[in-house]
Amino acid sequence: MKQAEREIISNTKKLLADNRIDVFIGYEQGTLPFRTSPCFVHTDPEVQKLVWNSFCANNLSVYLPHLLRQRKGHEHTRVGILCKGCDNRSVVELIKEKQLSRDDIVIIGISCAGIVDSTKLQSRLNGGRIIGFDETPDAIVVRLENEEKTFKKSEFLCEACRHCAHPIPNVYDILVRSEQLFPQPVVSDPRVTEFRARNRDQRWRTLEHEMSKCIRCYACRNACPNCYCKECFAEQTAPKWIGVTNDLSDIIFFHVMRIFHQAGRCVDCGACVRACPMGVDLRLFTRMLVDEVTDRFGYEPGLSTKDNAPLSAYRIDDEQTFMVEPE
Amino acid sequence: MEQRSSDSTKFEPKILAFLCNWCSYAGADLAGVSRFQYPSTIRVIRVPCSGRVNPLYIVKALQNGFDAVLVSGCHPGDCHYITGNYYARRKFALVKRYLDYLGLEPERVQFSWVSASEGARFAQIIKKITDDVKKLGPLVYFKKSISLKEKAL
């Protein structure tokens, strides 16, 4: 952990010193014990703020489209970014969709064994005051006022991390190997199959139940790197697709369509789930389209900048048993 | 005029049909000219190509009172714009599967290929869809209730 952190810091220092980048996006210690914050480093002294631990959750590629939007008369910002496996997949998708060019960024990739769900960990501590924590390859040791508690990382991983198939970035300029233990071989995610097995009414009630928690804060949309539209469909008035209130039907369709707009693009990074302040179980709905696109079109997003997006391509013999035929 | 009864013999579904201008709309027109009888449940919107249909149209239709939606285009290989229906096919496979996963009955969101010469086929497809939707009854899931009177019912 510390070794990886040192490598990140020394690489960033070098990139700034060699004038290869104007700003580096990484993580710094957050205001609460089990949180980190995204950090924008411009100068050498600031580099010391950078950290790397199992709470480095945010998908940092969400900042790239904004930073790299070409503005006439302005010099191009050169950006360095720290990418875990999932963040890297997002960067690849953004390059494919021409939101940035590979030459605009310097990627420091880092191999990741999964992010710990800080909310879950926090709730196990029953409100005790946290002095600090240490990390070993497979556990977190929390120092409270009167005692120390040890938690196995594998029991507190974020859901998306438990089923991550690509923890090591594919596209990078520098690769830092973290000494964390790697997760077990990927077990296929049972959530989608389990949900499909329920009857129609139950599925609808679950959707209603989850979506009734939503307060339309749009944190999920703002945290998602793929949601870079200047004007979101949810807030369009001409035409007005859906209302902006917390009417249940509007909430449901906001999520249904936002997730549908991710078809073939969602890399299952979990940023939306983490961002939600109300704990809406978004992954139950997002994961289905990720699996469907892989099964139907044999396509996995985020692995190569040379792939064709599945909805911008077709095969003459695409499956069409879903279509209606007269009896 | 609103049907409140869920008795399937009395329930007349409202179906929104997006028909591509070059094939399906012409096919529907031929059905009319040839006097083929089919249920008068569909309301037609003519689009230049099935690929023009945004999934948001389907969503808006379901939210606002339609019991089912049909999108119909040219047969693969016959699209007036060469490839529009291929893209549509991929898009709508995903839409249908996704809404089915969430609980919406798949019979409510249907897609078909009807060519300009297939008047009889068009009539048969509309009959089939109307029968399917009649059995399901009025749309319950996803519908937006905007009046207090409706909410009370």
Distance from the A294 Cα atom to the nearest Cα atom in chain B, whole angstroms: 11
Report d(CA B140, CA B55) in Å as an integer.
19
Supply the pLDDT for residue A68: 86
The full DSSP string for A120-149 is HHHHHTTTPPEEEEEE-SSEEEEEESS-EE
Taking only the tens place, the pLDDT of each residue in A34-68 is: 999 999 999 999 999 999 999 999 999 999 998 88
pTM reported for the whole predicted model: 0.90
Of A66-75, A164-173, A177-186, B140-149, least confident by mean pLDDT is: A177-186
Whole-number Å distance between alpha carbons of B130 and B13:
7
Place of tokens 């009955």: B105
> B7 vs A246, which has greater pLDDT?
A246
* B124 touches A: beta carbon within 8 Å: yes
Closest Cβ opposite residue B129 in set A256, A316, A324: A324
Closest Cα partner for A79 from A62, A98, A96, A93?
A62
Q: Which residues of A touch B (CB under 8 A)?
A: 192, 195-196, 200-201, 203-204, 207, 233, 241-243, 247, 249-250, 252-253, 256-257, 259-260, 263, 285, 288-289, 292-293, 296-297, 310-316, 318-320, 322-327
**Span A220-233, mean pLDDT?**
95
- Mean of pLDDT over chain B: 90
The arithmetic mean of pLDDT across residues A90-105, rounded, is: 93
- A·B CB contacts under 8 A: 110
Strand locations in chain A (E): 23-29, 36-41, 79-83, 105-110, 130-135, 139-144, 148-152, 174-176
**Coil, strand or helix: which one is A259?**
helix
* Whole-angstrom distance, CA of residue A151 vs CA of residue A136: 10
Rounded mean pLDDT, B40-63: 95
Query: What's the pLDDT score for residue A214?
Result: 96
The residue with greater pLDDT, A162 or A226, is A226
* pLDDT computed for residue A267 by the predictor: 94
Single-letter residue type at A49: K
d(CA B97, CA A288): 9
- Mean predicted confidence (pLDDT) in B24-44: 96
Higher pLDDT among residues B3 and A11, named by residue: A11
Band (A28; pLDDT cuts 50, 70, 90): very high
Tokens of A57: 């959750």
Residue in chain A closest to B105 (alpha carbons) equals: A200
Give residue for tokens 């690849």.
A92
**Residue A187: its pLDDT value, please?**
64
Alpha carbon of B55: minimum distance to chain A alpha carbons (Å): 8
Please indicate whether, in this complex, the C-beta atoms of A318 and B90 are within 8 angstroms of each other: yes
Chain B residue nearest residue A200, CA to CA:
B103
B141:A204 CB<8 A? yes
Structure-model confidence comparison of residues A12 and A182, the more confident one: A12
User: Which residues, listed in sequence order, are joined to residue B50 by a DSSP beta bridge?
Assistant: none
What strands lie across the sheet with B68-73, from one edge to the other? B42-47, B15-20, B68-73, B109-113
Confidence band, pLDDT 50/70/90 cuts, at residue A1: confident
Whether the bond into A190 is cis, omega within 30 of 0: no
C-beta of residue A297 within 8 angstroms of C-beta of residue B72:
no
* Least confident window among A165-179, A209-223, B42-56: A165-179
Whether the Cβ atoms of residue A186 and residue B91 lie closer than 8 Å to each other: no
Better-scored residue on pLDDT, A136 or B111: B111
φ, ψ of residue B120 to 5 degrees: the values are -65, -40
For residue B142, the model assigns a pLDDT of 85
B142 near A CB under 8 A: yes
Chain A positions touching B86 (Cβ under 8 A) are 314-316, 318
List chain A residues with CB under 8 Å of B92.
322
Confidence (pLDDT) at A300 = 92
Task: Check whether B5 has a pLDDT greater than 50.
Answer: no
Interface probe for A, chosen from B20, B92, B98, B102 (most Cβ of A below 10 Å), is: B102
* Dist CA A121 CA A140 (whole Å): 10
Instruction: Give me the mean pLDDT over the B36-53 stretch.
Output: 96
pLDDT at res. B152: 47
